[in-house]
Structure 1
Amino acid sequence: MSRRTKKFIYGVFYLAVLAVLGWMVYGANNAEAPSCIDGKRNQGEEQTDCGGPCMACEIKQLNPVSARGARFFGLQDGRVVLLGELVNPNEGYIAENVSYEFGIRDKTGYKVETLSGEETVFPLEKRYVLNAEARTRFNNIGSVELQISTSSLDASWEKFYGTLKPNVSLVSPPVFSEQGNNISISGEIKNQSSFSARNVKIIAILSDSFGDPVFAAAWAADNVSAFGSREFTIIIPRDGVFSRRMDNERAKFYVFSE
Structure 2
Amino acid sequence: MLTLTRDTKRLTIVVIYLLAFFVIGAGLYLAFKPKPTCFDGQQNQNEEGVDCGGICAMACIETIVGNDPLVREITFIPADRGRYDIVARIFNPNNDIGASSFRYALLLSDASGRELSRTTGTSFILPQETKMLLAFNLEPDQIPAKAVVELSDFQWTRLRDYRAKPELNIYSKRYVERPDQSVFGAMTGILVNESLYDFRKIRIKVVLRDAAGTPLAANQSEMQTVTVGREQDVRIVFPQPFSGAVAQVDAEVEADVYDAENFLQQYQIPKETGRSGFDYGGPGL
TM-score class normalised by the smaller sequence: 0.5 to 0.7
Q: Which amino acid aligns with 1:79?
A: R
Q: Which residue of 1 is the match for residue 62 of structure 2?
A: 56
Give the TM-score of the pair, scaled to structure 1. 0.67
1:82 aligns with 2:81: no
Q: Deviations over 1:89-124 (max 9, x none)?
A: 111122111111112224543213331111121110
Matches within 5 A, 1:127-138: 127-136=131-140
Q: Which residue of 2 is the match for residue 165 of structure 1?
A: 165
Residues 222 and 86 of structure 1, relative CA distance in 2, 3 Å threshold: farther
Unmatched segments (≥5 aa) in structure 2: 1-40, 54-58, 257-285
**Deviation (angstroms), 1:174:** 3.0
Indicate which of 239, 251, 256 corresponds to 2:254: 256
Q: Which residue of 2 is the match for residue 207 of structure 1?
A: 209
Q: Which amino acid aligns with 2:173?
A: P
Residues 128 and 211 of structure 1, relative CA distance in 2, 3 Å threshold: same
Q: Which residue of 2 is the match for residue 246 of structure 1?
A: 245
In structure 2, C-alpha distance between the alignment counterparts of 1:140 and 1:161, rounded to whole Å: 48
Identify which range, 212-221 or 71-80, moves more after superposition.
Answer: 212-221
Indicate which of 129, 150, 153 corresponds to 1:150: 153
Indicate which of 58, 68, 74 corresponds to 1:70: 74
1:101 aligns with 2:99: no
Q: Which amino acid aligns with 1:89?
A: P
Q: Which residue of 1 is the match for residue 235 of structure 2?
A: 233
Could you tell me whether the CA contact under 8 Å between 1:174 and 1:186 is conserved in 2?
Answer: yes
**Deviation (angstroms), 1:163:** 6.0
In structure 2, C-alpha distance between the alignment counterparts of 1:171 and 1:79, rounded to whole Å: 32
**Deviation (angstroms), 1:126:** 0.6
**Deviation (angstroms), 1:223:** 4.4
Residues 54 and 134 of structure 1, relative CA distance in 2, 3 Å threshold: farther
Could you tell me whether the CA contact under 8 Å between 2:92 and 2:130 is conserved in 1?
Answer: yes
Could you tell me whether the CA contact under 8 Å between 1:88 and 1:95 is conserved in 2?
Answer: no
| Paired positions, count | 205
Could you tell me whether the CA contact under 8 Å between 1:70 and 1:82 is conserved in 2?
Answer: yes
Q: Which amino acid aligns with 2:119?
A: L
Identify which range, 63-72 or 76-85, moves more after superposition.
Answer: 63-72
Residues 223 and 163 of structure 1, relative CA distance in 2, 3 Å threshold: farther
Q: Which amino acid aligns with 1:157?
A: T
**Deviation (angstroms), 1:160:** 4.3
Identify which range, 113-122 or 63-72, moves more after superposition.
Answer: 63-72
**Deviation (angstroms), 1:76:** 4.2
Could you tell me whether the CA contact under 8 Å between 2:87 and 2:134 is conserved in 1?
Answer: yes
**Deviation (angstroms), 1:233:** 1.4
**Deviation (angstroms), 1:251:** 2.4
**Deviation (angstroms), 1:73:** 0.3
Q: Deviations over 1:145-168 (max 9, x none)?
A: 1011214xxx14141434673211
Could you tell me whether the CA contact under 8 Å between 1:195 and 1:226 is conserved in 2?
Answer: yes
Give the TM-score of the pair, scaled to structure 2. 0.61
Q: Which amino acid aligns with 1:56?
A: E
Could you tell me whether the CA contact under 8 Å between 1:86 and 1:121 is conserved in 2?
Answer: no
Alignment root-mean-square deviation, CA: 2.9
Q: Which amino acid aligns with 1:246?
A: A
Residues 78 and 187 of structure 1, relative CA distance in 2, 3 Å threshold: same
Could you tell me whether the CA contact under 8 Å between 1:106 and 1:142 is conserved in 2?
Answer: yes
Query: Which has the larger Rg?
Result: 2
Q: Which residue of 1 is the match for residue 115 of structure 2?
A: 111
Residues 219 and 210 of structure 1, relative CA distance in 2, 3 Å threshold: same
